[in-house]
Homo-oligomer: A and B are copies of this chain.
Amino acid sequence: MDRRLPRYQLLRDQLAARIAALEWRFDEPLPTEQELAASYGLAVGTVRKAIDVLEKEGALSRFQGRGTFIRRANFDRSLLRFFRFLDARGRRQIPQGKIQSRKTKRPPAHVANALGIEAGIAALQLKRLRLIDAKPLVSEEIWLPLSRFGKLEKLPIDDFGNLLYPLYESLCGQVVARASERLTIDLANDSDIETLKLQDAGSVVVIERIAYGLDGSALEWRISRGNPGHFSYTVDIR
């Protein structure tokens, strides 16, 4: 099986394994292309092709003159790109995040399954409201495995801040590398209308997200229900 694959693919796999093993921090460069070529016994061009693949996959970023680095995903905006988060002056901004409840309890079966934890094991549940200019836009329900995020059980609610993923990293050492989202439309229920201050009994946008770490394991399950009036999404297709 391995023998048939091109060498740059084999190198890609080996580098991907070393990346998943957290061999390099975000701020330290990988070995030089020359060094990699020498240590793996390959030509530089072959090493470059392997790095090309990893760069296209989003795992690495290259900077001419500086080096090649683990890619730091910037989810600050990208994960909320389904909504127009414009403030009163029409500028894009990070919405305020307000934790509304924190509980330790058993997740529903489909959540436990998505997180890859055994049914019946407790997990951490957060409910959170996101606001722009003090107006609620999205309500979120978040589930986290206690094995990785136990420290969040005791953190004062006011210390959570507006962005969770930097907190996951600084407090729990968990880095979100990628995520998968599924978008649907649902009828607004009474809770939605009250929480999101919806005018009419219309619909809400529902986004179910699973976030994965550098090693590919599921870190977080999240469902968001948002005001459809602020929803806007653009795609180019070919």
Q: Work out how many copies of this chain go into the complex.
A: 2
Asked if A89 lies at the interface with its beta carbon under 8 angstroms from chain B, I say no
The stretch of A3-11, A147-155, A227-235 in contact with B is A227-235
CB atoms of B78 and A181 under 8 A apart: no
CA distance A141 to B177 in the complex (A): 40
Contacts of A73 in B (CB 8 A): 238
CB atoms of B180 and A236 under 8 A apart: yes
Asked if A183 lies at the interface with its beta carbon under 8 angstroms from chain B, I say yes
Q: Which of B79, B177, B179, B235 sits near A181, CB closer than 8 Å?
A: B235
CA distance A71 to B237 in the complex (A): 13
Assuming A179-B236, A180-B234, what are 11 further A-B pairs, CB within 8 angstroms?
A78-B237, A177-B238, A178-B237, A180-B236, A181-B234, A181-B235, A183-B233, A183-B235, A185-B228, A187-B200, A202-B203
For the complex of A and B, 4 pairs with smallest distance between CB atoms: A185-B228, A58-B238, A203-B203, A178-B238
Q: List 25 A-B contacts (CB under 8 A).
A: A58-B238, A71-B238, A75-B237, A78-B237, A177-B238, A178-B237, A179-B237, A180-B234, A180-B235, A180-B237, A181-B235, A181-B236, A181-B237, A182-B232, A182-B234, A183-B231, A183-B232, A183-B233, A183-B234, A183-B235, A184-B233, A185-B185, A185-B228, A187-B202, A202-B202
